[in-house]
Structure 1
Amino acid sequence: MALLTTFFAFLYHLPRVYKWLLKPYYVASLILSVAFLMVRKTPGICEHLASQREDGNSCDFDWREVEILMFLSAIVMMKNRRAITVEQHVGNIFLFSKVANVILFFRLDIRMGLLYLTMCIVFLMTCKPPLYMGPEYIKYFSDKTIEEELERDSRVTWIVEFFANWSPECQSFASVYADLSLKYNCAGLKFGKVDVGRYGEVANKYKVSTSPLTKQLPTLALFQGGKELMRRPQIDKKGRAVSWTFSEENIIREFNLNELYQKSKKLSKNKGEKPAEDQLPTVLEKDETEAEPEVQEEESESKKDK
C-alpha cells in the first residue's frame, strides 16, 4: 500500500519532479544514486569488474548485490510511509540509494568505495538543496526582532517556525508551511520564521535544540500576547522530542487553525471597535486551559520581510 501511494504521488507531481531534476543539486544526486548501476551495466567497464555469479557474467548483479538492493527498497518504503511531500519521497530515495552505493562499491573494490565516498562528501559540502521560493505570507525574524514583534501587541496571534537551512526536514516542510500561511494569514493570525541555525541566542531562549541529531527541527510554536501557549513537537521529561508528523492536517487540528482563523477574520472586519470578550479567538491545547487573547486589527502582513 505504501508503495502504491508513493507511486501515485510521484505520477501526480511528475511535472514538478522534472523541474527539480533539472536543478544541479538533483542532477548530481541522481547521478550518484545510480552510479553503481551504471558501472555494473556499462559495456567496456563491467567486463573488468569482479563478480560472484556462477556463470561469471560480471555485467549483471550477483545474489549479494540483489539482496542489498532489495533491502534498500524495503528501507525506502518504510521511510516514505511518514513522508508528507514529494520532496521528502525523492530525498529519501536519493539518500538511501547513496548509502547502498557506498556498500556496493566497497564490496566490489575498496578503491572504488573510497572514491565514491569522497565524491559523496564533496557533494554534501558543495551542493545544497534548493530553498523554497514560492508564494507565502511569512515574516522572517532575526535575533533582534523576534521578541519585539511577538510582544508588540497582545491581540496578535503568531505561529512561528524555528528552522535551520541545513535541515532536510525543514527544507521539506517549507512548502507546507507556506501553503498554511496563504490559507490562514489575516490581521489577527500571522506566520513567522526564525533561523535558529543562524541565531543561536534565539534557539537558547526558546529552548530549541539545533544539534544535527535532534528531532526538534522544525519546531512550531504558537504565541499569544508574546507568551508561548503550545508547540510541536512536544518535549518529554528527559528533554527529547516526541515524534510528530508535520502534515498540514495535523497542524490544522492541533493548532485549531480553522476556529482561530474564523474568529480572527471577524475581528479584522470591525476596525475601530474594541472586540467583545466572547469574540476573541481561543486556542485550546489538550490538557490545558483556554487562552482568550484579543486580536489586533491591522492590515495583512507583507509577503516577506527579511
Structure 2
Amino acid sequence: MGLITGLCTFLYHLPQIYKWLLKPYYITSFLMTVAFLVVRKAPGLCEHLATQREDRNPCDFDWRELEILMFLSAIVMMKNRRAITLEQHIGNLFLFSKVANVILFFRLDVRLGVLYLALCVAFVMTCKPPLYMGPEYIKYFSDKTIDEELQRDSRVTWIVEFYANWSSDCQSFAPVFAELSLKYNCAGLRFGKVDIGRYGEVSKQYRVSTSPLAKQLPSVILFQGGKELMRRPMVDNKGRAVSWTFNEENIIREFNLNELFQKSKKLNKSRGLKEEEQLSPQPEEATTSGLALKEK
C-alpha cells in the first residue's frame, strides 16, 4: 500500500519534477547524487575498484557501503518528516546523498574522495538553487523603504518575511508565503519581504540574525503602525530560534490571518464609503447651487 501511495505521489508531481530536470541546478545535483552508484556499477570501471566483499566482486556494494546507504535513508526520512514542500524533500535527498558520497569515495580511494569534495565545493560556489518566480502579491523592501512603508498608514497591517537568498529554508518557504499573499492580501493587510542577506542594517535594526547557527531564517514579523506585534520563530535568551514549522496552516493560525482579513475587508468598505461621501455633493451645496441657477 505504501509503495502504491508513493508511486501515485510521484506521478502526481511528475510534471513539476520534469520542469526541475530542465534546470542546471537540479541536473547537476542529480548527477552528483548518483555518482558513487554509477562508479560502483559502471562496466569497465568497477573492475578496478577496491572491495571488502568476501567474493571479491568489485562491482557490488560491500557490507560497509550498504550500512552507510541505509543510514543515509534513515536520515533523509527523519529530515523529511518536517519538510513542507516537495522542493524541501528533494533538497534533503540531494544534500545528505552528497555527504554520503563524500564518505563513500574517501573510503574507496582518497584521490576519488578529494576529487568529489572539490566538485561539491565548486558546485556550492557556482550553482545556486532557482528562486521562486510564481505569482504573488508581495512588496519587496530595501533598507531605505521599509520604515517608510511600515509607518505610512497605521490602519494597515503588514506581514513581513525577513529572508536571505542563500538560505535553503527561505527558498522552500517562498512559494508558501506567496500563496498566502494571493489569498489574504488586501488594502488593510499587506505582505512584504526584505533580503537581510543584502541589507545588513535591516538585520540589525529588526534583530533578525543571519547566522546559520541562530536558525532565525526565515523570520515572519507582524507590524501595525510600524510597531512589531509578534514574530515567528521566537528567539530564546541565547539568540537561537525556537523550533517552529513554517507551513501555511501554522502561519494562518499563529497570525490569525482569517480574523485579520475580515477586519481588513471592513476597513476597505469604510474607506469606500468615505470616498463616496467626499465625492458626492453635500445637501447645502446642492441647494445653494440650485438657487443660483434659478436666479440666473
**Would the TM-score normalized by the shorter structure come out above 0.5?**
yes
Q: Does 1:185 align with 2:185?
A: yes
For CA contacts below 8 A with separation 6 or more, give which structure has more relative contact order: 1
Q: Distance in 2 between matches of 1:11 and 1:170?
A: 27
Against the structure 1 CA distance between its residues 220 and 116, is the aligned structure 2 distance closer, same or farther, given a 3 Å change threshold?
same
Q: Distance in 1 between matches of 2:111 and 2:7?
A: 36
Note the alpha carbon deviations across 1:244-293, whole angstroms, 9 max, x for none.
Answer: 0000000000000011101211221232557xxxxxxxxxxxxxxxxxxx
Against the structure 1 CA distance between its residues 8 and 151, is the aligned structure 2 distance closer, same or farther, given a 3 Å change threshold?
farther
1:82 paired residue number = 82
The aligned length equals 274
Structure 1 residue 239: deviation in Å? Answer: 1.8
1:264 paired residue number = 264
Against the structure 1 CA distance between its residues 134 and 37, is the aligned structure 2 distance closer, same or farther, given a 3 Å change threshold?
same
Q: How does 1:185-264 map to 2 (within 5 A)?
A: 185-264=185-264
SS across alignment from 1:105 = helix
Q: Distance in 2 between matches of 1:197 and 1:66?
A: 40
One-letter identity of the residue aligned with 1:211 = S
Larger radius of gyration: 2
Note the alpha carbon deviations across 1:210-252, whole angstroms, 9 max, x for none.
Answer: 0132310000000001100000000112221100000000000
Where structure 1 has 5 or more consecutive residues not aligned to the other structure, the ranges are 275-306
Q: Distance in 2 between matches of 1:5 and 1:190?
A: 38
Q: Does 1:129 align with 2:121?
A: no
* 1:2–1:80 CA contact under 8 A, matched in 2: no
Structure 1 residue 13: deviation in Å? Answer: 1.8
Q: Distance in 1 between matches of 2:241 and 2:207?
A: 11
Note the alpha carbon deviations across 1:26-67, whole angstroms, 9 max, x for none.
Answer: 000000000000000000000000001111110010000000
- Runs (4 or more) in structure 1 with deviation over 3 Å come to 1-11
Q: Distance in 1 between matches of 2:148 and 2:8?
A: 45
SS across alignment from 2:239 = coil
Structure 1 residue 162: deviation in Å? Answer: 0.1
SS across alignment from 2:166 = coil
2:53 paired residue number = 53
1:42 paired residue number = 42
Q: Distance in 2 between matches of 1:5 and 1:269?
A: 47
1:72 paired residue number = 72
SS across alignment from 1:271 = helix
1:163 paired residue number = 163
Q: Distance in 1 between matches of 2:144 and 2:5?
A: 44
Q: Distance in 1 between matches of 2:251 and 2:73?
A: 30
Q: Distance in 2 between matches of 1:6 and 1:92?
A: 17
SS across alignment from 1:192 = strand
Against the structure 1 CA distance between its residues 7 and 99, is the aligned structure 2 distance closer, same or farther, given a 3 Å change threshold?
farther
SS across alignment from 1:228 = strand
Q: Distance in 1 between matches of 2:237 and 2:108?
A: 47
Q: Distance in 2 between matches of 1:125 and 1:201?
A: 25
Q: Distance in 1 between matches of 2:100 and 2:257?
A: 42
Q: Distance in 1 between matches of 2:233 and 2:122?
A: 33
* 2:214–2:239 CA contact under 8 A, matched in 1: no
Q: Distance in 1 between matches of 2:134 and 2:78?
A: 29
Note the alpha carbon deviations across 1:178-217, whole angstroms, 9 max, x for none.
Answer: 0000000001000000000000000000000001323100
Q: Distance in 2 between matches of 1:251 and 1:12?
A: 26
Q: Does 1:100 align with 2:100?
A: yes
One-letter identity of the residue aligned with 1:178 = A
Q: Distance in 1 between matches of 2:204 and 2:3?
A: 40
TM-score (norm 2): 0.89
Where structure 2 has 5 or more consecutive residues not aligned to the other structure, the ranges are 275-296
Q: Does 1:114 align with 2:109?
A: no
Q: Distance in 2 between matches of 1:256 and 1:59?
A: 57
Q: Which has the higher helix share?
A: 2
Q: Does 1:150 align with 2:167?
A: no
Q: Distance in 1 between matches of 2:5 and 2:264?
A: 36
